[in-house]
């Protein structure tokens, strides 16, 4: 008889010990509908906290230019610039700690797993030293609040968020025939338009053309970001005229036609197929049962992309509850699962001084192949087990498992107890034997955390 | 946009290869009798390098008009038909003059129209044509070349770095590695780890290779600092090429210059220059004399500057070739021109040769692979024509 609580813990949470009551689909879904307790317990910043630092940075830049030959003024301006950069980086670091603390402490861990899924789907990464706080702000303001909303709501929140407008260069796109475009002789940047179609909605295999990308880019003109207010719609940047995307004509003033286009894209059959497949691949298997994908896709189409219904459809299928662990834990999931199994709490992670948090958590995460909020491109992290369970990836996991637990804990846990606590019924006889045969507690703990059973979900 | 090239984020390890976002993977294939003494290094330039800015057709009447900003910055005269090289590559001028640096212009894979980095890189590394759906071919052309050569010792091929390099993935086995792992386990711990991983083939193989790579102490750590990533990478590759290794592949990122290209392109170009110069120095004259380094990118960039002083995804691009085995001092490939009717879709440099044909030419010259093998096994469907004179 498969242990559903254990399957839920591995596949839809961060492993054992299981969060209380999170054993079947109904409870998991109920956990998504309640208040976002982890966001309250371990808060992170939003756009409003970032903007003052960006204004300071801009002012310092201008002061430095204005300083001219005045060396003292120039030095003061440079110092102010650095202070502003440091402040945004500090926001980002606190949010990173909160990201770990929430995943470790959550009693509704599927919420954190879905947040990670959508944050990956809508990947943004910092591209210069002033941008370190943006990825977490996108998660906080556009993803966490829309987890159970229609997908169109999430898509609109993401596309209109400064983090995305900056990351995919929308802030550099001007209608060539717009008032500003004509004045400055500048033009379109297609990056956001392309990735909305290729990555965020239809998928790269879908039947859209370069013309659709270009029309979408023209439609998106006007969306921008200013440090004074954050998101802004600037009519003087808008390319005049209607735009035709996938055969639908969008016209009218302001942001309304953009929102209409995003709503249409969110419910397209190609989008349903793309995201049903992506959800099944992420949560269940690198090669999911086509019937499972079909059910999720059908529910997406039936409900117009209602994300609560879509997740419910995924959880409704026996294939999603198969005993066999078909996925490899990605490095973040591995580390959170290890910290939970070891008994490290969110509060302990939050209390780590910056240098320790970097040395014990974020740097090793990069060594395992998943530098924090720095996916290699807007398509996010790879899914296949083979992308993570490499000699390099395993060496980094093993090194971390050997070195870090004893730095985080006053005393290492007794390894036999750890096997049961971390693996439950998945503790194979061979691992139990090897733990007993280890020369040191340190190596025994390392073996448990490096074992295939612990690294699969 | 500089998707991967910016040193950024929260990491604090500056000297570790694993922490360097621009350094993805090194792959090495150890020698076999069939490979002889010649060395081939393939560098994938991820992000789409703007070939028109790296080797500038200053002679083309349309050039300055298309790129008023970029064309205004000073460049280096190559003394060959008024081609000029980007100023960031000044350190490579002596190689050009010595005939150890050459270029192929207006070249590209058969990838067209969607201008997606990821698909473009997939096609570049898979070496497939437009007749094959993307993703249908899962192995890479360098791997298929290894398969075509008798006696390549697959068990001694390995990759150094962080992520998969598709160009060398395939039946011939490849290892991934970054030179900063230690696996501080006792002898007993190593045996137990093998035992624990034994029943899951994916883990068993990864663990076995990790143990093997940390056993011999073969990882020479280079000095730290920001440049440590490049130095470490090159020293590792050169160390192996000077020994029995004959083929190496790795990638450099940071070429996606959507805005402020005047500055944004200098960084990746400086890295590429450092890779080439340090490779030459570390290999020494004898090995460098038998080496061809080919740097290839997924596609070129728009002929026109965009609204943010950068360039967007385009089509025809540039291949960089360096090494003593290269017939340098020339810009190869028919020049299509930049006039209104000459551009691909009215926006991009028109490709006049298939980048795969140049890679095939290099393999034929270096390793004596015959045309049938290249057109059927390594690059299925390729007509290996129109490319020659790049390799001695």
Q: How confident is the model over B44-70, as pLDDT tens digits?
A: 998 999 999 999 999 999 999 999 999
Confidence band for A372, pLDDT divided at 50, 70 and 90: very high
Nearest CA among B264, B249, B293 for reference residue B125: B249
Which stretch, A413-417, B105-109, B130-134, has highest mean pLDDT?
B105-109
Is any Cβ of chain A less than 8 angstroms from the Cβ of B198?
Answer: yes
> DSSP class of residue A377?
S
A297 located within any domain: no
Gyration radius (Cα) of chain B, Å: 21
Mean pLDDT value of segment A229-256: 97
Instruction: Give the pLDDT score at B283.
Output: 96
How far apart CA B380 and CA A379 sit, in angstroms, is: 28
How far apart CA A317 and CA A7 sit, in angstroms, is: 13
CA A406 to chain CA centroid, Å, is: 29
Give the domain-ending residue among A145, A176, A194. Answer: A145
Per-residue pLDDT for A79 more than 90? yes
Domain shared by A141 and A173, yes or no = no
Nearest CA among A325, A263, A335 for reference residue A14: A335
A81 with A64: CB under 8 angstroms? Answer: yes
Domain shared by A343 and A391, yes or no = yes
DSSP assignment of A166-200, as one string? HHTTGGG---TTSHHHHHHT-----HHHHHIIIII
Nearest CA among B311, B291, B294, B292 for reference residue B302: B311
Contact B182/A451, CB-based, under 8 Å? no
Torsion of CA A313, A316, A319, A320, to 10 degrees: 80
Q: Please give the sequence-ordered ranges of beta strands (E in DSSP) within A103-241, or none if there are none.
A: 223-226, 230-233
Domain shared by A224 and A132, yes or no = no
Per the model's pLDDT, the better-predicted residue between B29 and A33 turns out to be A33
A200 located within any domain: yes
Domain limits of chain B?
17-180+225-378, 184-218
Mean pLDDT for chain B?
83
How far apart CA A370 and CA A251 sit, in angstroms, is: 42
Tens of pLDDT, residues A164-184: 999 998 998 999 999 999 888
Nearest CA among B84, B50, B59, B112 for reference residue B335: B59
Say which residue the tokens 């300083």 belong to.
A67
Instruction: Give the pLDDT score at B175.
Output: 55
SS3 B222: coil
Buried b (16+ CB within 10 A) or exposed e, A11-28: bbbbbbebbeebbebebb
Domain shared by A257 and A214, yes or no = yes
A223 located within any domain: yes
How far apart CA B335 and CA B56 sit, in angstroms, is: 12
B89 with B322: CB under 8 angstroms? Answer: no
Which tokens in the block code for residue A448?
């448990």
How far apart CA B101 and CA B95 sit, in angstroms, is: 5
Nearest CA among A155, A154, A186 for reference residue A171: A186
**CATH, domain range B17-180+225-378:** 3.40.720
Per-residue pLDDT for B36 more than 60? yes
* Side-chain-side CA neighbours of residue A307 (13 Å): 23
Mean pLDDT value of segment B359-381: 93
Instruction: Give the pLDDT score at A355.
Output: 93
Residues 22-41 of B with CB under 8 A from A: 24
Domain shared by A131 and A173, yes or no = no
Contact A443/B200, CB-based, under 8 Å? no
Instruction: Give the pLDDT score at B182.
Output: 72
Domain shared by A119 and A233, yes or no = no
Is any Cβ of chain A less than 8 angstroms from the Cβ of B202?
Answer: yes
Nearest CA among B304, B345, B108 for reference residue A209: B345
Q: Is the bond into B329 cis (omega within 30 degrees of 0)?
A: no
Instruction: Give the pLDDT score at B34.
Output: 64
Helix/strand/coil percentages in chain A, nearest 5 = 65, 5, 30
Mean pLDDT value of segment A123-146: 94
Per the model's pLDDT, the better-predicted residue between B154 and B284 turns out to be B284
A119 located within any domain: yes
Instruction: Give the pLDDT score at A367.
Output: 87
Which tokens in the block code for residue B43?
């560098």
Percent of chain A at pLDDT above 90? 88
Domain shared by A350 and A388, yes or no = yes
Domain shared by A120 and A188, yes or no = no
Instruction: Give the pLDDT score at B94.
Output: 98
Mean pLDDT value of segment A120-130: 90
Mutate which of B10, B18, B182, B347 to test chain A, going by most A C-beta atoms within 10 A?
B10
> DSSP class of residue A330?
P
SS3 B24: strand
Per-residue pLDDT for B133 more than 80? no
SS3 B51: helix
Which among B6, B196, B210 has the least Cβ separation from residue A430?
A: B196
How far apart CA A366 and CA A364 sit, in angstroms, is: 5
* Side-chain-side CA neighbours of residue B101 (13 Å): 18
A199 located within any domain: yes
A275 with A298: CB under 8 angstroms? Answer: no
Mean pLDDT for chain A?
95
Tell me which residue range forms the domain holding A353.
Answer: 331-455
SS3 A337: helix
Domain shared by A59 and A138, yes or no = yes
Give the domain-ending residue among A111, A145, A179. Answer: A145
Mean pLDDT value of segment B280-288: 97
Is any Cβ of chain A less than 8 angstroms from the Cβ of B132?
Answer: no
The shortest C-alpha distance from B23 to chain A (Å) reads 11
Lowest-confidence range among A102-106, A136-140, B30-34, B198-202? Answer: B30-34
For chain B, where are the alpha helices, taking DSSP H only?
51-54, 63-66, 93-97, 117-126, 141-148, 187-197, 201-215, 228-241, 261-264, 266-288, 355-367, 371-373
Domain shared by A128 and A169, yes or no = no
Domain shared by A134 and A185, yes or no = no
SS3 A438: coil
Say which residue the tokens 């069939």 belong to.
B34
Which among B162, B192, B203 has the least Cβ separation from residue A392?
A: B162
The shortest C-alpha distance from B104 to chain A (Å) reads 27
Instruction: Give the pLDDT score at B27.
Output: 63
Per-residue pLDDT for B155 more than 50? no
- Phi-psi bin for A192: left (phi > 0), alpha (psi -120 to 50), beta? alpha
Instruction: Give the pLDDT score at A166.
Output: 95
Residues 6 or more apart from A385 whose CB is under 8 A from it?
A286, A327, A328, A456, B202
Instruction: Give the pLDDT score at B180.
Output: 57
Nearest CA among B81, B87, B53 for reference residue B67: B53
DSSP assignment of A220-281, as one string? HTTEEEETTTEEEE-GGGPPSS-EEETTEEE--STTHHHHHHHHHHHT-HHHHHHHHHHHHH
> DSSP class of residue B40?
E
How far apart CA A101 and CA A109 sit, in angstroms, is: 11
Give the domain-ending residue among A248, A266, A284. Answer: A266
Nearest CA in chain B to A355: B12
Contact A391/B210, CB-based, under 8 Å? yes
How large is the angle between the packed helices A290-303 and A269-283, nearest 10 degrees? 130
A399 located within any domain: yes
Contact A366/B114, CB-based, under 8 Å? no
Instruction: Give the pLDDT score at B236.
Output: 77
Contact A455/B180, CB-based, under 8 Å? no
How far apart CA A111 and CA A28 sit, in angstroms, is: 9
How far apart CA B308 and CA B84 sit, in angstroms, is: 24
Contact A210/B114, CB-based, under 8 Å? yes
Confidence band for A293, pLDDT divided at 50, 70 and 90: very high
Which tokens in the block code for residue A141?
């303001």
Counted domains in chain A: 3
Residues 271-310 of B with CB under 8 A from A: 306-308, 310
Domain shared by A209 and A135, yes or no = no
Tens of pLDDT, residues B135-149: 556 688 988 888 887
């Amino acid at each position: 008889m498969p242990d559903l609580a254990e399957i839920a813990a591995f596949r839809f949470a961060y492993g054992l010990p299981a969060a209380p009551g999170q054993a079947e689909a109904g409870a998991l879904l109920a956990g998504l509908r309640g208040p976002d307790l982890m966001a309250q317990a371990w808060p992170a910043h939003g756009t409003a906290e970032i903007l003052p630092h960006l204004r300071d940075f801009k002012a310092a830049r201008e002061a430095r230019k204005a300083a001219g030959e005045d060396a003292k003024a120039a030095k003061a301006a440079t110092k102010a610039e650095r202070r502003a950069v440091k402040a945004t980086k500090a926001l980002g670091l606190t949010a990173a700690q909160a990201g770990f603390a929430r995943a470790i402490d959550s009693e509704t861990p599927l919420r954190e797993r879905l947040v990670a899924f959508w944050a990956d789907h809508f990947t943004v990464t910092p591209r210069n030293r002033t941008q370190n706080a943006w990825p977490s702000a996108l998660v906080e303001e556009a993803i966490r609040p829309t987890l159970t909303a229609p997908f169109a709501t999430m898509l609109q929140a993401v596309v209109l968020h400064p983090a995305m407008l900056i990351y995919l260069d929308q802030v550099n796109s001007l209608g060539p025939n717009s008032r500003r475009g004509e004045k400055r002789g500048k033009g379109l940047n297609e990056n956001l338009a392309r990735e909305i179609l290729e990555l965020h909605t239809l998928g790269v295999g879908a039947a859209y053309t370069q013309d659709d990308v270009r029309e979408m880019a023209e439609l998106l003109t006007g969306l921008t970001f200013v440090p004074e207010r954050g998101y802004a719609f600037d009519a003087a940047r808008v390319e005049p005229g209607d735009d035709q995307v996938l055969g639908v004509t969008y016209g009218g003033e302001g942001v309304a036609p953009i929102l209409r286009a995003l709503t249409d894209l969110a419910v397209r059959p190609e989008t349903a197929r793309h995201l049903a497949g992506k959800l099944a691949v992420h949560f269940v298997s690198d090669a999911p049962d086509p019937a499972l994908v079909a059910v999720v896709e059908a529910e997406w189409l039936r409900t117009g992309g209602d994300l609560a219904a879509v997740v419910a459809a995924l959880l409704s299928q026996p294939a999603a509850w198969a005993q066999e662990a078909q996925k490899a834990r990605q490095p973040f999931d591995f580390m959170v699962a290890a910290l939970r199994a070891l008994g490290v709490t969110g509060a302990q992670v939050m209390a780590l001084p910056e240098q320790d948090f970097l040395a014990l958590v974020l740097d090793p995460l990069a060594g395992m192949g998943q530098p924090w909020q720095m996916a290699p491109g807007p398509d996010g992290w790879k899914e296949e087990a083979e992308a993570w369970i490499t000699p390099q990836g395993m060496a980094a996991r093993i090194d971390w498992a050997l070195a870090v637990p004893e730095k985080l804990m006053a005393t290492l846990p007794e390894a036999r107890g750890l096997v049961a606590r971390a693996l439950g019924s998945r503790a194979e006889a061979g691992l139990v034997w090897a733990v007993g045969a280890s020369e040191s507690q340190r190596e025994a703990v390392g073996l448990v955390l490096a074992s295939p059973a612990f690294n699969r979900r | 946009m500089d998707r991967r090239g910016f040193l950024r984020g929260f990491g604090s390890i500056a000297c570790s290869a694993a922490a360097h976002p621009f350094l993805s993977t090194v792959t090495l294939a150890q020698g076999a009798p069939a490979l002889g003494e010649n060395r081939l290094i393939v560098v994938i330039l991820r992000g789409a390098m703007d070939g028109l800015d790296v080797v500038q057709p200053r002679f083309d009447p349309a050039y300055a008009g298309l790129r008023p900003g970029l064309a205004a910055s000073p460049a280096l005269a190559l003394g060959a038909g008024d081609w000029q090289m980007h100023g960031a590559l000044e350190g490579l001028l002596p190689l050009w003059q010595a005939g150890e640096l050459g270029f192929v212009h207006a070249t590209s894979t058969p990838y067209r129209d969607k201008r997606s980095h990821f698909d473009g890189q997939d096609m570049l590394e898979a070496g497939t044509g437009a007749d094959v759906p993307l993703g249908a071919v899962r192995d890479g052309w360098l791997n298929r070349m290894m398969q075509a050569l008798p006696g390549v010792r697959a068990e001694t091929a390995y990759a150094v770095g962080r992520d998969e390099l598709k160009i060398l993935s395939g039946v011939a086995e490849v290892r991934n590695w970054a030179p900063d792992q230690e696996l501080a386990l006792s002898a007993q711990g190593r045996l137990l780890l093998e035992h624990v991983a034994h029943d899951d083939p994916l883990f068993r193989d990864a663990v076995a290779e990790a143990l093997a790579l940390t056993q011999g102490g073969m990882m020479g750590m280079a000095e730290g600092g920001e440049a440590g990533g490049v130095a470490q990478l090159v020293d590792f590759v050169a160390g192996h090429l000077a020994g029995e290794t004959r083929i190496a592949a790795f990638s450099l990122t940071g070429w996606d210059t959507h805005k402020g290209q005047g500055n944004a392109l200098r960084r990746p170009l400086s890295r590429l220059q450092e890779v080439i110069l340090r490779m030459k120095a570390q290999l020494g004259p004898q090995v460098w004399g038998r080496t061809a380094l080919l740097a290839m990118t997924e596609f070129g960039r728009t002929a026109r500057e965009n609204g943010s002083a950068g360039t967007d995804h385009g089509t025809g691009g540039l291949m960089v070739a360096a090494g003593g085995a290269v017939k340098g001092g020339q810009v190869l490939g028919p020049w299509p021109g930049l006039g209104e009717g000459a551009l691909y879709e009215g926006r991009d440099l028109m490709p006049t040769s298939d980048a795969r044909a140049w890679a095939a030419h290099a393999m034929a010259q270096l390793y004596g692979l015959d045309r049938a093998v290249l057109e059927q096994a390594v690059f299925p469907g390729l007509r290996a024509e129109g490319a020659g004179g790049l390799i001695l």
